[in-house]
Amino acid sequence: MKKSKKNKKVVEKICLLTIIIVVVLIVIYSILVKSIKIKVNDKEINLNDTYKEEVKGYFLGKDISENIKKTGSVNTSKSGTYKIKYELKYLLFKKSKTIEVVVKDTIKPVLTLNDKEIEIYVVNTEYKEQGYTALDNVDGDITKKVKVDKSNLDIKKPGTYRIKYTVKDSSGNTASAERQVVYENPNTKGISVVNYHFFYNPKTEACNEDICERDDDFRSHLKYLKDNNYKTLTIREFRDWMYGKIEIPEKSVLITVDDGAKGTGKHNGDNLNTILKEYKMHATLFLVTGWWDIENYKSDYLDIESHTNDMHTGGLCSKFRGAKILCSSNEYVMNDLKKSIEITKSKIAFCYPFYAYNETSTKQVKQAGFELAFIGGEKKVTKDTDKWHIPRYPITKEMTLDDFIKIVN
């Protein structure tokens, strides 16, 4: 009996000791497990930024980062949330941690207005939207998402109005743009038609004729027109106004350029189209079509009309400046005009070489089918002006900006 009790006490002691050992082992294991640490945090980066992985593993303060294994990856070229799992094994111990890497799109869409930022209309003329495009680095073409606010536009009253454009991409980035729309009373006093010839950069080129125009002087002319809300007419708009089909604003001007020589085409400097595009303004080139390839001049801001095909030659007879158009047979002139029309594909307007014309040449121009013809004359044009003898203001090298302003005003 005594032995049984003794054995029972031994068993109890052994059980207690076992429990204590197990508890101690669990505590030690828990401490050791806790001593395994993976140091890495959730992260936010911008789209297309470089993702720098910063992860460390420790056991009892010892760096054991080489034992870390990673599952998952981050595509920095695509926005979204990426989960990365890190697992660290060392001896009998193991630990894991999962983080989130958020790639954010913070780039605004590119919202572009077609044509000009300033549109000029006559009162009571319906506003015509010139269009726009919206492109996003993630969503692609989001033009359909553009919202147009023209709530303040009143076409019945003269004034300057602002049309607002906004677009938002799928990441919430917003882009905006604004177009000014100017409404003016109809022109009743006539307009100025200005006439240029050559364009050059005096820092790199020479041009000794009086009709040479410095590129920066031409820029100053267009800047004045733009800053003061002038409408630079296309040749079709000018034609339609002359024929009573449309009204044009009070501040309107027609810019013309003769010949196609220095600085007017891609082959000889391209100053003209470069500057027109820079200011988004229109002009009309009267091209000697037989001398240069018309492809050199094509632009959204330049209309091309006839300056004859090959009759820009003087000193051939006793008539005004000996102009070839005045000295040639009717057959020669008509064939020349026909050839020029074939190249320009237009009969809207003609410009007499050297401003030289007479009754015969005027009849020939009409017979060829031209609706307008231009000369010199230095006076404004009204709807009552002779459509086949439209005067222009020649712009010369010595003219100042003030001189130009007086002409267009």
pLDDT digits (tens, 9 = 90+) for 230-283: 999 999 999 999 999 999 999 999 999 999 999 999 999 999 999 999 999 999
Query: Which residues make up the CATH 3.20.20.370 domain(s) of the chain?
Result: 192-408
**Rounded Cα distance, 270 and 284, in Å:** 15
Residue type, 67: N
CB 106, CB 47: distance < 8 Å = yes
* Tokens standing for residue 297: 């001049």
**Rounded Cα distance, 316 and 301, in Å:** 35
Sheet holding 80-90, edge to edge: 43-46, 93-104, 80-90, 68-71
Residue type, 39: K
What pLDDT score does 16 carry? Answer: 79
| Contacts with 133 (C-beta within 8 Å, 6 or more apart), sequence order | 111, 112, 114, 141, 143
Fold classification of 34-104 is Immunoglobulin-like (2.60.40)
Beta strands in 79-146 (DSSP E): 80-90, 93-104, 110-113, 118-122, 132-136, 140-141
What pLDDT score does 94 carry? Answer: 87
What pLDDT score does 165 carry? Answer: 97
| Contacts with 337 (C-beta within 8 Å, 6 or more apart), sequence order | 306, 308, 309, 350, 364, 365, 368, 370
- Residue ranges, the chain, pLDDT below 70: 1-3, 5-6, 28
Which of 69, 74, 82, 77 is closest to 52 using CA atoms? 74
Q: Look up the CATH number of domain 110-184.
A: 2.60.40.10
What pLDDT score does 1 carry? Answer: 56
Which of 359, 301, 371 is closest to 330 using CA atoms? 359
Query: Which residues make up the CATH 2.60.40.10 domain(s) of the chain?
Result: 34-104, 110-184
- Give me the architecture of the 192-408 domain, per CATH: Alpha-Beta Barrel (3.20)
**Rounded Cα distance, 263 and 275, in Å:** 11
* Tokens standing for residue 217: 């002087």
Q: What separation, in Å, do the N-terminal and C-terminal C-alpha atoms of the chain show?
A: 133
How buried is 345 (Cβ within 10 angstroms: 0-12 exposed, 13-18 middle, 19+ buried)?
A: exposed
What angle is formed at CA 180 by the lines to CA 176 and CA 185, rounded to 5 degrees? 160
